[in-house]
């Protein structure tokens, strides 16, 4: 963006301090008086019987455009992603049918009656566990997000991409996962003293496998069988996936079939050539499992338009951190010169989406909306300049910088770098 233009527009905003544009209350902005015609006319839905029961509920036909956006690799069938439309959703739980996907070789068809989990390697007693056997163990539930390490990677580009918020940042979703604490099974097998890592392998056509430190598996890892109360869907790991709260998506191995305990990491493709960051020193940043604090204003956001009239808009979005709970989210309307703390919706959970909101008085003025999250460790989401100064510009993964939405005087919203 032209710096002199930005400066002049900021000067334009000096007369509208944040305390006057962010309000402490909310007002309706679109309500209209009841018309006489509406009072006297019954809608069609009241003049006939409704439709029959269904075996499995589906969204309204009027919401058919709320879908995952698919971006597939045409040269490698089954390789690609689908994005969660974050800007179309409210609350913090992602519907199962809209949970993002990342597949390396398609979605396997796995019969749960024949699928088993094998734990072997440096254990006293190698064991296998059928799905029915897993269901007999004590189960726990955990609401947490899963985020692909490649989420938001368009931010590394030299020019900002002009796509809907979910189409850039929607490789993250939040759900309630239920399953068996992995430590129960590892302790049953007996962990030998030499075991420091486990190689987790999926039963998909790519035989995806990654190395994981034992400490995390004994801490809060879950063999997830259920997602938001129902059995996992095939695209999210049916019949069982490894869940590592707060860690990048690739290590939450779907269709899990084996955990092999070893002394050293295996240095697989997906922990060397992929999901690592090349630093300015020429060294690779590897095994950066924890997803750092991040936030995103989902509404208003790029692609939306504010009507050309003064009004109060609810600035709302999502924040999350792999380090724990979100402590606060601040919002700026002037490109980061001043900040106001947003309201966090309860409950604020560990390693889970937190919804934030703030009423904003827009009067047709130029603005740059931003949000920045701070988690309970004190880590604050960095600006884009700070992130690039620390990590260089050769990275492809783990982008968590502040996102800036520019709103011009006509209410048009675009993505800019500040």
What is the rounded distance in angstroms from the CA atom of residue 235 to the CA atom of residue 102?
A: 9
The DSSP string of 99-115 is --EEESS------TTT-
Q: What is the pLDDT of residue 4?
A: 37
User: Which among 288, 279, 283, 203 has a CA at the least distance from the CA of 249?
Assistant: 288
Question: Is-contact 295 372, C-beta < 8 A?
Answer: yes
Question: What is the token pair recorded at 395?
Answer: 């990275």
DSSP 267-293: --GGGTTSS-EE-TTS-EE----BPPP
Residue 383 is classified by DSSP as: P
Q: Say if CB 262 and CB 199 are below 8 A apart.
A: yes
Asked whether 349 and 319 are in contact (CB, 8 A), the reply is no
Structure tokens at 237: 């790991």
CA angle 73, 147, 351 (to 5 degrees): 175
Q: Which two tokens stand for residue 144?
A: 């947490």
CB of 195 within 8 A of CB of 123? yes
Alpha-carbon torsion (143, 144, 145, 149), positive or negative:
negative
pTM for the predicted model, two decimal places: 0.93
SS (H, E, C) 153-207: HHHHCCCCCCCCHHHHHCCEEEEEEEEEEHHHHHHHHCECCCCCEEEEEECCCCC
Q: Point out which residues pair with 284 in neighbouring strands.
A: 278
State the Cα–Cα distance between residues 43 and 14, nearest whole angstrom.
50
Q: Comparing C-alpha atoms, which of 208, 246, 238, 232 is closest to residue 103? A: 208
Bridge partners of 306, per DSSP, are: none
In the numeric block, the tokens 């989990």 are attached to 117
Q: Which two tokens stand for residue 225?
A: 């069988």
pLDDT in tens, the chain (418 residues): 444 334 434 433 343 445 456 765 556 566 778 887 777 889 999 999 999 999 999 999 999 999 999 999 888 889 999 999 999 999 999 999 999 999 999 999 999 999 999 999 999 999 999 999 999 999 999 999 999 999 999 999 999 999 999 999 999 999 999 999 999 999 999 999 999 999 999 999 999 999 999 999 999 999 999 999 999 999 999 999 999 999 999 999 999 999 999 999 999 998 998 899 999 999 999 999 999 999 999 999 999 999 867 788 999 999 999 999 999 999 999 999 999 999 999 999 999 999 999 999 998 999 999 999 999 999 999 999 999 999 998 889 999 999 999 999 999 999 999 9
Residue 403 and residue 372: Cα distance in Å, rounded? 8
Q: What is the pLDDT of residue 28?
A: 58
Nearest to 29 by CA among 300, 280, 396, 418: 300
Buried b (16+ CB within 10 A) or exposed e, 153-169: bbbbeeebeebbbbbbb
Euclidean distance between CA atoms 131 and 203, whole angstroms: 14
Give the per-residue pLDDT at 310: 74
Count Cα neighbours of 215 within 13 Å in the Cβ-side half-sphere: 1
Compute how many other C-beta atoms are within 10 angstroms of the C-beta atom of residue 1: 15
Please tell me the distance from the alpha carbon of residue 257 to that of residue 204, in angstroms, as a whole number: 9
User: Which residues, in sequence order, are CB contacts of 392 under 8 Å at separation 6+?
Assistant: 278, 279, 280
């Amino acid at each position: 963006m032209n710096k002199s233009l930005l400066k002049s527009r900021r000067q334009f905003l000096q007369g509208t301090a944040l305390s006057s544009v962010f309000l402490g209350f909310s007002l309706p902005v679109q309500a209209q008086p009841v018309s006489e015609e509406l009072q006297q006319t019954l809608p069609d839905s009241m003049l006939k019987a409704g439709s029959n029961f269904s075996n499995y509920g589906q969204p309204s036909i009027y919401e058919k455009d709320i879908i995952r956006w698919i971006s597939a690799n045409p040269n490698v069938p089954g390789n690609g992603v689908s994005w969660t439309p974050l800007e179309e959703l409210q609350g913090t739980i992602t519907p199962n049918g809209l949970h993002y996907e990342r597949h390396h070789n398609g979605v396997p068809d796995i019969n749960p009656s024949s699928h088993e989990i094998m734990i072997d390697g440096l254990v006293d007693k190698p064991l296998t566990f059928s799905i029915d056997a897993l269901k007999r163990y004590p189960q726990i539930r955990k609401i947490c997000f899963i985020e692909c390490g490649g989420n938001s990677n368009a931010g590394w580009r030299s020019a900002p991409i002009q796509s809907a918020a979910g189409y850039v940042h929607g490789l993250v979703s939040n759900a309630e996962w239920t399953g068996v604490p992995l430590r129960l099974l590892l302790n049953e097998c007996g962990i030998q003293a030499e075991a420091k890592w486990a190689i987790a392998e999926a039963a998909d056509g790519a035989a995806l496998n990654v190395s994981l430190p034992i400490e995390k598996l004994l801490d809060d890892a879950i063999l997830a069988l259920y997602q938001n109360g129902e059995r996992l869907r095939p695209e999210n790991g049916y019949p069982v996936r490894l869940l590592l709260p707060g860690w990048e998506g690739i290590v939450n191995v779907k269709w899990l079939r084996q955990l092999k305990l070893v002394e050293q990491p295996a240095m697989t493709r997906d922990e060397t050539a992929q999901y690592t960051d090349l630093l300015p020193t020429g060294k690779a940043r590897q095994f950066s499992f924890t997803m750092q604090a991040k936030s995103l204003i989902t509404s208003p956001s790029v692609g939306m338009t504010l009507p050309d009239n003064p009004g109060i808009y609810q600035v709302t979005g999502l924040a999350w951190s792999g380090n724990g709970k979100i402590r606060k989210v601040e919002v700026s309307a002037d490109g980061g010169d001043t900040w106001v703390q947003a309201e966090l919706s309860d409950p604020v959970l560990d390693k889970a989406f937190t919804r934030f909101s703030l009423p904003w008085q827009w009067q047709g003025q130029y603005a740059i909306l931003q949000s920045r999250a701070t988690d309970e460790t004190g880590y604050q989401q960095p600006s884009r300049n700070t992130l690039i100064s620390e990590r260089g510009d050769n990275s492809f993964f783990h982008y968590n910088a502040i996102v800036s939405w520019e709103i011009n005087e006509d209410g048009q919203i675009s993505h800019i770098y500040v």
